[in-house]
């Protein structure tokens, strides 16, 4: 109900002009999520990482489509299969005036695994790496095995000065005591629950941003964010809800920009149990787990009307998905296409697999974790019912859902068929493929989010080969092949990629990014 009322209110509001532009050099941004801290190494969480990028630069940066570009490292190359050499940028100074050198990089590496009570440590990104200082502006990184992802992994965290790395606690960072950043901005205020304020670093080595001061306000409720935009409280908002998009676009005082995201919404199914807990025959009697038959999985995928989900439920803020990342990203297959909606074909496949009358299935999903998640799962349940599968659904608060979907009562994934989402923070496919479809193996670190326990030796071997291949072009080919193996075997059923949407006052230009980050450096006048 609130949604329709909000729409009504917005409709009324858009007919009124916005009040004037804000002060000349100050940018006000409304964020959709709040950081847990402004210590750059405390919590690997996207709002934290996003704000941190303004202040603590990484050796390697990700551009708007998450391709790698030089940051504090001017260049890097693999000297041999297990050694990477990073040439550091000269003449870069920290806010406190000290020079940026190899010692700061090494001190940062030491700090990553040593941050106390880190809810999600950055340590896994540098696990197994040893650093070696060649000279003041050259660092060599050695790996135990060939590790092509080193530059990618180094793009996930920022470098702090040696002084900060060795003496500052998370609380010190939160209290703005650290002057050991090199970024285009520095923090001037951090008020949990309210805002983060930054000012321009006038001695920045790179292109100076357009704004003297930027305040990021935490407007976590979507209607609030939209209202703040309409009322002129903020200049830019991120995370525009799909239901408000059309109206904001129609408003002459606002601009809206979109970019395909690295987040895929997909279905994971039970691949590992002989009988699955939430699947029975239509009369309720137990049956063998039909999801282990690839024809059944294929039929389910064909029964999903992706264009309908994209247009009706996501109101255009999504694109039908065919694999784990959109084809524009590194390591994706260029030949895969989204499975076409084909009910007759799906029925035939189901009959071929021995289920002419279908079966009974209960789907599970989180409510409120992904955009319109509950509506999507309801729609898909209806689509399956049309296919002849009696589908029930249950949506569960995320806090409870992810625990049960990962480790239920007996330590195994509890559900038979779930809706989940996955954002590829690294901007390439290997991480997604390994986590979602790799055979679960703690020692190898594979299958970390494989909540269906999919396991395919051909897939695993090929992926392992790709992960050993340092040559980028060769690796891209291999990863594309791995994607094709996984998708043709329907290890997961991809539904759609979300679109990231920003709104801004007319005249303020926002660079739309695939990683959902709102960077003040990318906002211009």
Partner 1 sequence: MLAFILRRLGQAMLVIGAMVVIVFFGVNVIGDPVYMLISPEMDQNAVEATKVALGLDKPIWEQFIYFVTGAVQGDLGRSFVHGEPAIKLILSRMPATMELALVALLMAVVIGLPLGVYAGLKPESRLAKAIMAISILGFSLPTFWVGLMLIMFFSVMLGWLPATGRGDVVRVLGIETSLLSWQGWTFIALPALNLALLKISLVIRLARAGTREAALMDYVKFARAKGLAQSRIVGVHIMKNIMIPIVTVLGLEFGSLVAFSVVTETIFAWPGMGKLLLEAIQRLDRPVIVAYVMVVVVLFVVINLVVDVLYSILDPRVRLTEAKA
Could you tell me the smallest distance in angstroms from the CB atom of residue 65 to partner 1? 18
- Measure the CA–CA gap between 513 and 422, rounded to whole angstroms: 16
Cα–Cα dist 363/318, whole Å: 22
Of 117 and 457, the one with the shorter C-beta distance to partner 1 is: 117
What is the distance between the alpha carbons of residues 225 and 221, in angstroms, rounded to a whole number? 6
**Closest CB to partner 1 among residues 43, 137:** 43
Q: How far is the CB of 103 from partner 1 (least distance, A)?
A: 26
CB nearer to partner 1: give 2 or 285: 2
Tell the smallest beta-carbon distance from residue 421 to partner 1 (Å).
Answer: 9
Residues 6+ apart with CB under 8 A from 258: 317, 499, 500, 501, 502, 512
H/E run at residue 477: helix 472-488
- Indicate the angle between helix axes 242-250 and 222-231, nearest 10 degrees: 10
How many CB atoms within 10 Å of residue 399?
9
| Nearer of residues 45 and 67 to partner 1, judged by Cβ | 45
Distance, CA of 20 to chain centre: 35
Q: Which is nearer to partner 1, 220 or 524 (CB)?
A: 220
Task: Tell me whether residue 34 or residue 322 sits nearer to partner 1 (CB atom).
Answer: 34
What are the helix (H) ranges across 181-252? 222-231, 242-250
- Do the beta carbons of residue 338 and residue 302 sit within 8 Å? no
Smallest gap from residue 497 Cβ to partner 1 (A):
16
If the CB atoms of residues 324 and 349 are measured against partner 1, the closer one turns out to be 324
Q: Rounded to the nearest whole angstrom, what is the least distance from the CB of residue 6 to partner 1 in the complex?
A: 6
Cα–Cα distance for residue pair 420/324, rounded to 1 Å: 12
> Encoding tokens for residue 475?
């690796």
Q: Which residues lie near partner 1 (CB under 8 A)?
A: 2, 5-6, 9-10, 12-13, 16, 19, 34, 36-37, 42-45, 116-121, 123-124, 170-171, 174, 191-195, 217-221, 223-224, 227-228, 230-233, 397-404, 406-407, 422-426, 431, 435, 440, 442, 445-449
Whole-number minimum distance, CB 345 to partner 1, in Å?
Answer: 33
Least distance in angstroms from the C-beta of 144 to partner 1: 15
The tokens for 430 are 């290997």
Smallest gap from Cβ 222 to partner 1, in A, equals 11
First to last CA, the chain: 38
> Phi, psi (5° rounding) for residue 75?
-155, 165
Smallest gap from residue 205 Cβ to partner 1 (A) = 30
By beta-carbon proximity to partner 1, the closer residue of 11 and 79 is 11
Between 134 and 175, name the residue whose CB sits nearer to partner 1. Answer: 175
Report the alpha-carbon distance of residue 359 to residue 341 in Å, rounded: 20
Nearer to partner 1 (CB atom), residue 216 or residue 384: 216
Identify the three-state secondary structure at position 394. Answer: strand
Helix (H, G, I), strand (E, B) or coil at 406: helix
Q: In the complex with partner 1, which residue's Cβ is closer, 135 or 194?
A: 194
Q: How far is the CB of 438 from partner 1 (least distance, A)?
A: 9
For partner 1, which is the closer residue by CB, 120 or 130? 120
Q: Write the CA distances from 273 to 210, 425, 456, 480, integer angstroms.
A: 57, 31, 15, 29
Shortest distance in whole angstroms from residue 132 CB to partner 1? 25
11 vs 124: CA distance, rounded Å: 48
Letter string b/e over residues 509-519, b meaning 16 or more CB atoms within 10 A of that residue's CB: ebbbbbbbbbb
106 neighbors 139 (Cβ within 8 angstroms): yes
**Residue 310 carries which DSSP code?**
I
Angstrom distance (rounded) from CA 493 to CA 451: 13
Query: Which tokens belong to 45?
Result: 């969480």
- What is the spatial distance between Cα 344 and Cα 357, in angstroms, rounded to a whole number? 14
Dist CA 36 CA 50 (whole Å): 12
Contact 475, 385 (CB under 8 A): no
3-state secondary structure (DSSP) of residue 302: helix
CB of 446 to partner 1, least distance (A): 7
Q: 121 vs 524, which CB is nearer to partner 1?
A: 121
Q: Tell the smallest beta-carbon distance from residue 425 to partner 1 (Å).
A: 6
Q: Report the distance separating Cα 14 and Cα 101, nearest Å.
A: 52
């Amino acid at each position: 109900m609130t949604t329709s009322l909000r729409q009504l209110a917005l409709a009324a509001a858009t007919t009124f002009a916005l009040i004037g532009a804000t002060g000349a050099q100050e940018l006000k941004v409304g964020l959709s999520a709040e950081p847990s801290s402004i210590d750059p190494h405390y919590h690997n969480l996207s709002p934290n990482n996003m704000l941190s990028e303004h202040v603590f630069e990484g050796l390697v940066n990700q551009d708007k489509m998450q391709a790698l570009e030089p940051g504090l490292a001017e260049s890097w190359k693999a000297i041999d299969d297990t050694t990477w050499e990073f040439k550091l940028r000269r003449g870069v100074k920290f806010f406190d005036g000290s020079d940026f050198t190899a010692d700061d990089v090494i001190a940062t590496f030491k700090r990553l695994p040593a941050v106390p009570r880190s809810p999600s440590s950055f340590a896994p990104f540098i696990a197994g790496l040893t650093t070696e200082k060649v000279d003041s502006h050259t660092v060599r990184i050695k790996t135990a095995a060939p590790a092509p992802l080193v530059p990618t992994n180094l793009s996930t965290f920022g470098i702090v000065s040696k002084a900060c790395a060795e003496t500052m606690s998370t609380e010190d960072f939160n209290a703005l005591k650290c002057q050991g950043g090199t970024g285009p901005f520095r923090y001037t205020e951090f008020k949990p629950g309210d805002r983060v304020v930054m000012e321009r670093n006038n001695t920045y080595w790179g292109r100076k941003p357009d704004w003297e001061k930027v305040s990021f306000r935490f407007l976590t409720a979507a209607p609030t964010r939209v209202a703040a935009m309409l009322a002129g409280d903020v200049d830019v908002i991120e995370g525009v809800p799909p239901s408000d998009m059309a109206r904001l676009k129609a408003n002459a005082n606002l601009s809206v920009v979109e970019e395909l995201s690295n987040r895929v919404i997909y279905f994971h199914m039970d691949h590992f149990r002989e009988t699955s807990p939430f699947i029975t025959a239509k009369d309720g009697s137990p049956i063998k787990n039909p999801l282990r038959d690839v024809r059944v999985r294929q039929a389910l995928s064909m029964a999903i009307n992706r264009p309908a989900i994209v247009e009706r439920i996501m109101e255009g803020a999504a694109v039908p998905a065919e694999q784990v990342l959109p084809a524009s990203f590194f390591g994706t297959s260029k030949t895969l296409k989204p499975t076409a909606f084909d009910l007759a074909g799906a029925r035939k496949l189901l009959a071929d697999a021995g289920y002419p009358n279908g079966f009974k299935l209960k789907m599970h999903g989180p409510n409120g974790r992904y955009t319109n998640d509950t509506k999507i799962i309801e729609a898909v349940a209806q689509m399956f019912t049309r296919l002849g599968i009696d589908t029930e659904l249950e949506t569960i608060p995320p806090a409870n859902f992810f625990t049960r979907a990962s480790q239920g009562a007996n330590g195994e994934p509890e559900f038979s068929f779930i809706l989940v989402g996955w954002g590829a923070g690294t901007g390439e496919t290997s991480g997604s493929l390994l986590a979602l479809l790799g055979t679960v193996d703690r020692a190898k670190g594979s299958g970390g989010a494989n909540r269906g326990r999919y396991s395919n030796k051909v897939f695993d071997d090929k992926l392992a080969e790709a992960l050993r291949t340092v040559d980028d072009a060769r690796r891209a080919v291999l990863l594309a092949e791995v994607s094709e193996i996984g998708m043709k075997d329907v290890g997961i059923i991809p539904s759609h990629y979300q679109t990231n949407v920003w709104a801004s006052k007319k005249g303020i230009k926002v660079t739309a990014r695939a990683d959902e980050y709102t960077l003040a450096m990318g906002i211009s006048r």
